[in-house]
Amino acid sequence: MKPFPDLQIPLIPSAAELPPEVSNFPRFRFMGSKFRLLPWIHDTLVGIDFETATDAFSGSGVVSYLLKSMNKEVKANDALVFPSILTIATIANSGTRLEGIDLDLLLESKARLDSERFIRRTFEGIFYTPAELSSLDDLWSGIRRLESPLKRAVALAALLRSAIKRQPRGLFTVSDPTRYQDGRRDLQLTIREHFVEQVDAYNGAVFSNGRRNFVSCGDVFDVQPGSDLVYMDPPYVPLSDDNCYIKRYHFLEGLACYWEGKELMMGTKVRKIAKPFTPFAYRRTAIEAFDKLFRKFADSIQVLSYSSNAYPDLVTLRALMGRYKKTVEVFEKEHRYHFGTHDAAKRNVVQEYLIIGS
Ligand SMILES: C[S@@+](CC[C@H](N)C(=O)[O-])C[C@H]1O[C@@H](n2cnc3c(N)ncnc32)[C@H](O)[C@@H]1O
């Protein structure tokens, strides 16, 4: 007999109510990723009536993937190339996977031309061993041979995730490939071994939600408005230079396009690329940028992710959104970000907000 036959307490916590597809998302270690906040974001979005959604600052792509799993028509945008590759592979792509024959081609390819050996030449002694750098060039030479753009995106997403998993802290700030080796499985596998696993992971993330979903790579102010709902998770004004996305991920950004069109700074220890300007990252431009953002999407339901340690503060943002939306509601949740050293992580307990204008 059941101990409490009359009780109707739901035994499943809200996290289990996430659409089942979400569990297939290959988690990407990305600063400010909302991966761990997904159940809360889902709980909040589920109460809103909308069919089409724009994720204007898509980053790792996890919120776009949630929206796709909720059967919305999704437009994902980010100013950087590598987040756009991740969303082409998982959001725009509704049925293309890498077959065994594609994987064979990728693993057999060898970079023969000088122009295909850019990585081993440029990053000698930086981030990876010479063999690993050569693997990246070789796999890239195979990716060029794939005819389908969606297959290329799946392969590139797998390569990006392999590259970040093979970096001890998931960052590209320290050059020495032998530092921080602690016997973790991710650090023991070769790039090629990772790649085989990651192709599987990205193949497993492909699904159709019966909609046409889009990806764009560009400034948020060039995004076409018009979705029922726009989710906005811009970068925060950094407390230190350490918050910069390009400083942390320049190698992935270059790898996503084989450094084509990127300005490489050869004078820097880790061969950085130039930082693109974003008005959200500076105190002097952030308020005006938020005002412009809310004005741009004035006809959509607006959902802004924000946190208590950011600038401008909640009161200011609420007032700014209130200029364009009749009702502004704030949902709150305590959250601990896991970036930085142990001590810094302790300090990273913040209030997360979802500011919703309708
Ligand atoms: C906080 S992250 C987004 C995280 C994402 N929601 C997730 O869960 O992974 C901010 C993103 O905004 C992008 N970004 C910065 N300035 C931008 C701009 N002006 N237009 C479009 N994207 C921008 C960055 O490249 C970064 O990927």
Round to whole Å and give the CA distance between 252 and 86.
11
The pLDDT of residue 6: 39
Q: 172: closest CA among 223, 242, 105?
A: 242
Residue with tokens 């060029």: 144
The pLDDT of residue 73: 98
Token output for 50: 């909308």
Q: How far is the CA of 62 from the centre of ligand 1 (A)?
A: 12
Round to whole Å and give the CA distance between 285 and 194.
41
Q: Ligand 1, residues 27, 57, 288: which to mutate, most atoms within 8 A of Cβ?
A: 57
The pLDDT of residue 354: 97
Mean pLDDT by 10 residues, the chain (358 residues): 36 63 96 94 96 98 98 98 98 98 98 97 93 98 98 98 90 74 87 98 98 98 98 86 79 97 89 91 95 98 94 95 98 78 61 96
Q: How far is the CA of 61 from the centre of ligand 1 (A)?
A: 10
Q: DSSP letter for 92, please.
A: I
Residues 6+ apart with CB under 8 A from 183: none
Contact between 230 and 54 (Cβ < 8 Å): yes
The pLDDT of residue 339: 58
CA angle 28, 249, 97 (to 5 degrees): 45
- For the chain, the first-to-last Cα distance in angstroms comes to 49
Within 6 Å (CB) of ligand 1, which residues are found? 30, 32-34, 57, 59-60, 62-63, 78-80, 83, 219-220, 233-235, 245, 278, 280
Q: How far is the CA of 209 from the centre of ligand 1 (A)?
A: 24
Q: Ligand 1, residues 28, 62, 67, 78: which to mutate, most atoms within 8 A of Cβ?
A: 78
Q: Which atom of ligand 1 lies at the shortest distance from residue 83's CA?
A: 27
